């Protein structure tokens, strides 16, 4: 698929090209440290999750691009698995934390992907999504550029992501934002806890 080939070509320089994520915000929203495993879905080279290696039990990076995963495997103790977000090859309720950084707009089917994320997330677990904020002009320009480059990206407004998360059985809130990004936190209730409504 065209989108995957773009990232195949970027794999060698991606960590430098993409820059470093806001680790302080991510650490706080993920509620680290934890003993359980963390999934970095659409994680590419593992650039966003690797800094937290010592704060979780284990990290699994999932991506659709072999070259990106090869770069992830060069990072010590990262597990790298080739898969689409719509069909994760993991058992139910096996991850305590899930991280999706700058990848949600690349998933082919957003609702199916959220269903899979909810399925593999443990009860009481947490999903953190960092996405470009489509309400910003700069992000709208990026979205147009990716469309022209045939990357098949589909950007969503934050409220739309929140609604999809609720439909997937998760409580969700817009936790933070800056001039370009939003951070959304989604929690999976324990079996005896009611699901909280979406907070906008």
What is the predicted pLDDT for the residue at 83?
Answer: 97
CA atoms within 13 A on the CB side of 150: 5
Q: Regarding beta strands 58-63 and 121-132, do their DSSP bridges make them parallel or antiparallel, or are they unpaired?
A: unpaired
Which tokens sit at 151?
């990357």
Give every strand in the sheet of 181-187, ordered side by side: 79-82, 58-63, 37-41, 95-101, 121-132, 181-187, 171-177
Which tokens sit at 144?
């147009």
Average pLDDT, the chain: 87
Contacts of 79 (CB under 8 A, 6+ apart): 58, 59, 60, 61
Question: What does the radius of gyration of the chain's CA atoms come to, in whole angstroms?
Answer: 16
- pLDDT at residue 5 tops 60: no
Q: Give per-residue pLDDT as tens, 95-106.
A: 999 999 999 999
Q: List the domain boundaries for the chain.
A: 2-187
Q: Which fold does the domain 2-187 belong to in CATH?
A: Rossmann fold (3.40.50)
Q: Give per-residue pLDDT as tens, 32-75.
A: 999 999 999 999 999 999 999 999 999 999 999 898 899 999 99
Which pTM was predicted?
Answer: 0.85
Measure the CA–CA gap between 114 and 123, rounded to whole angstroms.
15
Q: What is the mean pLDDT of residues 83-110?
A: 96
Query: Could you tell me which of 16, 82, 17, 76 has the C-alpha nearest to residue 43?
Result: 82
- pLDDT at residue 143 tops 90: no
- pLDDT at residue 13 tops 80: no
- Backbone CA torsion sign across 31, 94, 7, 164: negative
Which DSSP string corresponds to 110-126? Answer: HHHHHHHHHHHEEEEEE
């Amino acid at each position: 698929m065209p989108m995957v080939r773009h990232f195949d070509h970027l794999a060698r320089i991606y960590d430098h090209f993409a820059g470093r994520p806001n680790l302080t915000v991510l650490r706080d929203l993920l509620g680290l440290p934890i003993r359980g495993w963390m999934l970095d879905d659409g994680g590419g080279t593992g650039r966003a999750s690797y800094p937290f290696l010592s704060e979780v039990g284990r990290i699994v990076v999932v991506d659709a691009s072999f070259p990106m995963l090869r770069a992830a495997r060069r990072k010590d103790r990262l597990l790298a698995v080739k898969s689409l977000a719509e069909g994760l090859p993991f058992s139910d309720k096996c991850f305590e934390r899930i991280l999706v950084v700058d990848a949600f707009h690349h998933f082919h089917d957003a609702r199916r992907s959220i269903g899979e994320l909810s399925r593999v997330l443990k009860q009481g677990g947490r999903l953190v999504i960092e996405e470009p904020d489509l309400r910003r002009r700069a992000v709208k320009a990026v979205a147009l550029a990716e469309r022209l480059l045939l990357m098949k990206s589909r950007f969503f407004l934050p409220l739309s992501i929140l609604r999809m998360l609720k439909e997937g059985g998760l409580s969700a809130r817009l936790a933070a934002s800056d001039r370009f990004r939003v951070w959304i936190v989604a929690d999976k209730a324990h079996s005896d806890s009611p699901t909280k409504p979406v907070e906008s």
